[in-house]
Amino acid sequence: MTARILVVDDIEANLKFLEARLLADYFDVVCTDNGRDALAICAGGQVDVILLDVMMPEMDGFEVCERLKADPATAHIPVVMVTALDQPADRVRGLKAGADDFLTKPVNDLQLISRVKSLARLKTMSDELRDRLKTAGSIDIQESIGADGHIEKPGRILLIDGRASSQERIVKALKPVAEVCAWSDPSNAIFEATENPYDLVIINSNFDDFDPLRLCSQLRSLDRTRFLPLLIVTEQNDDAMVVRALDLGVNDYIIRPIDPNELVARTLSQIKRKRFNDRLREDLAQTMELAVIDGLTGLNNRRYLDLHLKTLFNRAALRGRDISVCMTDIDCFKQVNDLYGHEAGDEVLKEFASRLRSTVRGADLACRYGGEEFVVVMPDTSLETAAVVAERLRSIIEDRPFVLRSGQHLQITASMGIASNLAGVDSPEQLMRQADRALYEAKRSGRNRVVAAAA
């Protein structure tokens, strides 16, 4: 994969080394020697991952990272701090500033490329979600994250650790910020991860008879855990495991002996990122639903009907089964709007949709076609049975007055035209035209009736 990497370091030799190493793996590289230019580059163009030196004049890496994460336009860009500082307190400070990881100078080539690739993949996934939501306008995705960047409710963590002593230490360290469920058996832990909601899985690589990377691979391959953050605990200098873990999709790692503060900081960082992306997915799902749902009545809209009717029609043709359509129109609806106002008209439409929904069967598809027109698609239904369903709906509309919020009672009726895939009807468009002609005939011949299309 390719991505645009911003390298920030005030020492030219470091810039040249990182630039050459990244260019060798076909990344697009942008370099700068100070924090202010780095902020301007991020604000003005596409950056996928930032490699940020800590020790710089005027504005150090911690401040640059804090400013990036405080700006909604750049908060989602992964930041890797590249530093000669190797104390746990320095890593914790960086993680609290919002950094996604640390690389210690001299930079290990394998860890550099693996970490950049891993974070670029996460950025790509997040960008895809954000792009799909642009048409929905400005969306607030900070609901589950506090204004100070801290999560508002404790996370739920699944710890998979083969040794009771290390389980106890990790649970104790995370107790102030998360509810931790610890398992020693990897096979049962996988089942636990798929059946219950977790914000993070921590996998300790201390198993004697089980490959922890196999466990990571299994969790990544299952639908229910595909997007669940994974953090692996590894031995010092076990570069091969770290690189392989990141290639498999593990989000983060921590090296033994574990510093409790660093563990907490990395845990909170992963939980925040998960909740951020979860909210993006929820908003995307809601946006997609709005695209196919009529906002007033709650029924599917014409866009959904056009797409789904084609599928149902082709399926019926392939299997040699019946499919029928009922097109219905509220009689004299313009008079309702003219005499009582458009709010009253909306009330009638909502009540009509409610009665329609109560009448159709579970397999039927009810849609608002537009204005005061509605369509019911009835798979595996003959024209005769469709006529019975339509007549039942016509009676339900006529028999009980529509009561407005103002207390007024309106007598509403509806006309209906039905058609089915009889001989000669060879497309969903033709089926709809037949139903429309039958509806026109019902209106022309006096309204408040059901008319079937002629064979």
- Interior angle at CA 237, CA 232 and CA 238, nearest 5: 50
98 touches 266 (CB < 8 A)? no
Nearest to 242 by CA among 120, 123, 112, 122: 112
User: Within a 10 A sphere around the Cβ of 98, how many other Cβ atoms?
Assistant: 20
Give strand pairing partners of 233: 204, 254
Nearest to 38 by CA among 81, 95, 2, 3: 81
- Residue numbers annotated as active site: 372
CA–CA separation, 306 and 308 (whole Å): 6
Nearest to 169 by CA among 191, 211, 202, 207: 202
- Distant-in-sequence, close-in-space partners of 416: CB < 8 Å, separation ≥ 6: 326, 327, 328, 329, 390, 393, 394, 438, 439, 442, 449, 450, 451
Cα-flanking dihedrals φ and ψ of residue 137, to 5°? 85, -165
69 touches 99 (CB < 8 A)? no
| 91 CB burial (10 A radius; 0-12, 13-18, 19+) | buried
- Residue 79 half-sphere exposure toward CB, CA atoms < 13 A: 31
For residue 57, whether the previous peptide bond is cis, meaning omega lies within 30 degrees of 0, is no
Report helix, strand or coil for 384.
helix
Give CA torsion, residues 284, 288, 289, 293, to 10 deg: 150
- The helix, strand and coil proportions of the chain, stated in percent and rounded to the nearest 5, come to 50, 20, 30
**How far, CA to CA in Å, does 206 sit from each of 259, 261, 312?**
17, 21, 54
